[in-house]
Structure 1
Amino acid sequence: MKIIASIIVVLLLLSGGALWFLANGSLNDYIKNQIETVGTQVTEQSVTVKAVDIKLTSGAGSILGVNLANPKTYSQPNAFALEEITLDINLESLTSSPIIIDAIVIKSPQAFVQFTQTGGSNIQDILDAIERNAPKADANSADKTSADEPKIKVSKIILAGTALTLDLSAFGNKEHSATLPDITLNNVGGDTGLPASQLGSEIVKQALSKIWQQAKATQKKQLTDDVKEKLKEKAKKKLTDLFG
């Protein structure tokens, strides 16, 4: 079960506005703390990060070893895990609005997707939590948000080589592994960008939705293939019984 932790990285990276926070030279620690703290609040599950290395002077950065725990009702310890996320920051945009991240590449993310008998899953539970907890834009808070947080847009987000493990044991089946086609999200935040606290959640929702769609398609194909295989075996047995 491997696939989406990547997104959570971005969610928490951006949610605290950490890209421009340089106080006391603690940018990396600040981002790590924001990823873990805000990620846990938004997803309602524990989020941990091994290390952050942002180099604003060269417009580059990486986030390493991100894990998102599974809801306790599921058997796998983690819902998502990833080794590395790299960022390409547009340096010229740091003094303007919106701040632009040219590209975020999430390398070989892993997702552990477990379905329930009712058709739900751990991913759907996490998406529901994000919907409940993500910051919402409204008329009363718009001015304050704009004043407190620079806006950010991400030109391109690539989830490369997402490894999916699909647990279908709830259907009397088993675990299956697959590598999903690369997923690309374009112009996240729109032309004007979004406040960092809102953009992170938007990235997560878009990416998880894409992965959820592919996971459901994989589930349907796998169950259909298994049914066909069982029918073939049943037909073979009948022929053997009839003709020996």
Structure 2
Amino acid sequence: MFKKLLLGLLLIALAAGAVVYFVLSGGLNKQIKNAVETYGPRVTQTDVTLEDVNLSILSGSGTLKGLNVGNPEGYQSEHIFALGQIDLKIDTSTILDQTIIIDHILIKAPAISYEKSLSSSNVKDLMNNIEAFTGPSSGPSPDPEPSTGAKKQVVIKELLIEDGTVYVGALGVGRTVTLPRIEMNNIGEGGSMTMAEVMDLVLTKLLQSIGPAIADAGDLLKEGGKAALDAASKQATQQLDDAANEAVNKVGESLKGLLGN
């Protein structure tokens, strides 16, 4: 569940950044900020804010600062997901090519919160909010739309995730622990990976570091909350079920339409 939720949340930031190469407008940065802060809350039914956007078409460089996705009501943490800053540099000579080269992506200070209540969790409640926006995931699948051509491929030369933290809480007891620094190089090189596939690979790596951090947090909590936290930790690393996965996919498709993709 955690993996697909993070993918959905990061799409709000990264899709906004990608649009810079398809919209030629002097007020682009303001438009991206407004789109995230207008569309995000509709999807999550929580506060979504983006502090600052600074993207340049000419240089291929960009920075997004202070992306915050609020927690559903009833939980201790202010945000379920907060991102200090994303710095990226794209090889502008590849923008019109089938494979886009991203020289580097630096994700600074991602902060993740996972909290368990007696009957639910903040992750589950947020996914319910997303499904309420996208509609029920059950029922027959719509007919596939005609293909408009091959999907763009992506190569990321360098990706760094640093200064990350994860807060794990249960029944009012919680602890924040530091995530290890993650470095990945030449993602997608020599193969054919879409942005969605690249992000799935990156998030798998991120979750490999979150699991031990959650376990360490359990050892540091008071004995009274440890049993509840252990149960929360197991749920945090489970794969999203088909219904929730379809809800996140719907969000991604809606974002594409909103951003003119």
Normalising by structure 2, we get a TM-score of 0.61
Structure 2 letter corresponding to 1:108: A
**1:34 to 1:121, Cα distance in 2 relative to 1, 3 A:** same
Does residue 166 in structure 1 map to residue 168 in structure 2? yes
**1:126 to 1:83, Cα distance in 2 relative to 1, 3 A:** same
CA distance in 2, matches of 1:69, 1:151: 32
CA RMSD of aligned residues (A): 4.2
**1:21 to 1:87, Cα distance in 2 relative to 1, 3 A:** same
Instruction: Extract unaligned runs of 5+ from structure 1.
Output: 1-5, 228-244
Deviation at 1:115, TM superposition (A): 2.3
- After superposition, the C-alpha distances for 1:71-98 in whole angstroms (9 at most, x for unaligned) are 1232322112233211121222112023
Matches within 5 A, 1:140-155: 140-141=144-145, 143-144=147-148, 146=149, 151=152, 153=154, 155=156
Deviation at 1:104, TM superposition (A): 1.6
CA distance in 1, matches of 2:198, 2:129: 14
Instruction: Extract unaligned runs of 5+ from structure 2.
Output: 1-5, 135-140, 225-261
Deviation at 1:63, TM superposition (A): 0.6
Show the counterpart of 1:178. Answer: 177
Matches within 5 A, 1:177-216: 177-184=176-183, 187=187, 191-194=191-194, 198=196, 202=200, 206=204, 209-210=207-208, 213-216=211-214
Show the counterpart of 2:235. Answer: none
> Quick check: 1:11–1:39 contact (8 Å CA) kept in 2?
no
Q: Which of the two has greater helix per residue?
A: 1
Does residue 222 in structure 1 map to residue 220 in structure 2? yes
The residue matched to 1:28 in structure 2 has which SS? helix
Deviation at 1:48, TM superposition (A): 0.9
CA distance in 2, matches of 1:130, 1:200: 23
The residue matched to 1:111 in structure 2 has which SS? strand
Matches within 5 A, 1:40-51: 40-51=41-52
CA distance in 1, matches of 2:48, 2:202: 14
Normalising by structure 1, we get a TM-score of 0.65
Question: Percent identity, aligned pairs only?
Answer: 28
Does residue 95 in structure 1 map to residue 96 in structure 2? yes
CA distance in 2, matches of 1:154, 1:32: 26
> Quick check: 1:164–1:178 contact (8 Å CA) kept in 2?
yes
Deviation at 1:68, TM superposition (A): 0.6
**1:101 to 1:40, Cα distance in 2 relative to 1, 3 A:** farther
CA distance in 1, matches of 2:44, 2:198: 12
Q: If you compute each CA radius of gyration, which structure gives the higher value, 1 or 2?
A: 1
- After superposition, the C-alpha distances for 1:111-135 in whole angstroms (9 at most, x for unaligned) are 23322346x53245446767895xx
Deviation at 1:67, TM superposition (A): 0.8
Deviation at 1:143, TM superposition (A): 0.9
Deviation at 1:142, TM superposition (A): 5.9
> Quick check: 2:109–2:165 contact (8 Å CA) kept in 1?
yes
Deviation at 1:176, TM superposition (A): 1.7
